[in-house]
Amino acid sequence: MQNPGSLEKIFGNTAQLTVLEYLLNNKDNDTYLSGIAADTGLSHSTVSRVIEPLLEIDLVTERPLGKQIRVFRLNQDNELTKYLIKFKDGLRHIIDGSGK
């Protein structure tokens, strides 16, 4: 399981926040449910459940790869996503002490 990120330090640990922060940290990469689950320590079913609301608000895009595989990527064209990236980068700057 990955170390707590800046968002988790502020807002606590929830599965959806864990997935969102994972996607923010890997914003330029396509990923699979299994990859997110393995890298975050969450179960496949939990990742599948918590990614749905992120898809609904268009923070995440999905495309099929074959008949059964779903590929996800952070939607960097979404205005909310752009704000979250900026917000997270600012938090990291402050929390890491480089913003003092």
Domain annotation for the chain: domains and CATH numbers: 6-95 (1.10.10.10)
pLDDT tens per residue, range 15-39: 988 999 899 999 999 999 999 999 9
pLDDT at res. 1? 45
Q: Which tokens sit at 67?
A: 């008949």
pLDDT tens per residue, range 57-90: 999 999 988 888 889 999 999 999 999 999 888 8
Beta-bridge partner residues of 70:
64
Q: How many residues does the chain have?
A: 100
Nearest to 78 by CA among 35, 20, 18, 11: 20
pLDDT at res. 19? 93
**The pTM is what?**
0.78
pLDDT at res. 27? 92
Cβ of 74: how many Cβ atoms within 10 Å? 24
